[in-house]
Structure 1
Amino acid sequence: MGGMGPAPKPGGARRRNATVAMTPLPAGGRKGRPPKWPLQDDVVLTARRDIALRKADDLELALLEPNLKGRAKANAEKKADSAREAALILTKQLEAQQAVEAQLWRELWATPQAVMWQKLSWTREVAQYVRWKSRAESGDLDAAKEARQIADRLGLTPLAMLRLRWTIADSNDAAAAPASRRRPASGSRRPDDPRAALHIVE
């Protein structure tokens, strides 16, 4: 005689109400220092700054020409001022980007997701997200799009965490549960438990 319960689905199909295992991540985040920053400084921004600095230096030298006078000298001074301003702006942009990258790098490696990044050796992937995110915060719309795509792969949004089967484990759930929801001690029942009226019939 067959056992009780529903017959198994043909072909070993899974039941619709079957649950998928989730990987719990510590609510307190990853502990310890972040990994070493793996990327070089922004190559494009660094090159633009260096070019601007060389141009400013060349124009400064041109102002020393003894034959440079009148309107020609005024125009040369104007160009030199513009070059110095461009070089200064690019220098400040690079410094600001480096500061944002350093701060974001530290913050990200203290998140719960960072525990999995470390296990999966996703150091460079996280660094790429930091690079695009720092550019996005400077107003680069294309960088913002790239940052959003990498954020999904890293599990930085609720939907992305669901796709990766990650969940934040709350260690305070049991302690914070109301007394009425806590499991009674072995051998005891609550006064309002209807099973308290049951007794063994011999």
Structure 2
Amino acid sequence: MKGGHAASGPAPDPNALRRSRPADAATWTALPSGGRAGDPPEWPLLEPDGREWELWADFWARPQALMWERMGQLYEVAMCVRMLARAEQPKSSIELQKVVRQYFDSLGLSTQGMLRNRWKLTDAPTDESARTRKAPARKSARTRLTVVPGDAAGE
């Protein structure tokens, strides 16, 4: 990798026209828009406060939670929840808010994070579904031409 950091450059686009790029060899993971069913996992850190518990339950009901569970990211999600609960407080530091944004990106909770993780939602109306609808059949140019009766002399 030349220059920058791991997240430099534009995020991958699932609707990109050029599919021959080596970076596009990886597949996109479709996540059900309905989210993850069931109770959240057991909290892995020291006792959560009330707000942390609310956020924990909310996060684990999201579609991204299926991937966190698959990858064993309980601690990362718990730390994100803890930092978010602190960042919500009045006069929280800008640095703490930056950390939360970074967690959101890495956990796929932001649009950029979803794109970088190559995750997309399914069962939701998308612009792509509108583009894939077949256009109504048009008459050919030949059938649209009509002969207008007139004088052969050009009157």
User: Which protein is richer in helix relative to its size?
Assistant: 1
Gaps of 5+ in 2: 1-16, 141-155
TM-score relative to the length of structure 2: 0.63
Residue 103 of structure 1: which of 45, 51, 54 is its match? Answer: 54
Q: Distance in 2 between matches of 1:134 and 1:171?
A: 29
Q: Distance in 1 between matches of 2:55 and 2:70?
A: 20
Partner SS state of residue 38, structure 1: coil
Paired position in structure 1 for 2:19: 18
Shift of 1:145: 2.1
Q: Distance in 1 between matches of 2:101 and 2:45?
A: 19
TM-score relative to the length of structure 1: 0.49
1:53-92 equivalences in 2 (<5 Å): none
Q: Distance in 1 between matches of 2:56 and 2:78?
A: 7
Q: Distance in 1 between matches of 2:34 and 2:57?
A: 15
**How many residues of Structure 1 are paired with residues of Structure 2 in the alignment?**
113
Gaps of 5+ in 1: 1-15, 42-96, 183-189, 196-202
One-letter amino acid of the structure 1 residue matched with residue 54 of structure 2: Q
Shift of 1:193: 6.2
C-alpha distance 172-17 of structure 1, shift in aligned 2 (>3 A): closer
Q: Distance in 1 between matches of 2:118 and 2:86?
A: 29
Q: C-alpha root-mean-square deviation of aligned residues, in Å?
A: 2.6
Paired position in structure 2 for 1:166: 119
Identical amino acids, percent of aligned pairs: 40
Paired position in structure 1 for 2:36: 30
Residue 154 of structure 1: which of 102, 107, 113 is its match? Answer: 107
2:89 matched to 1:138?
yes
One-letter amino acid of the structure 2 residue matched with residue 143 of structure 1: L
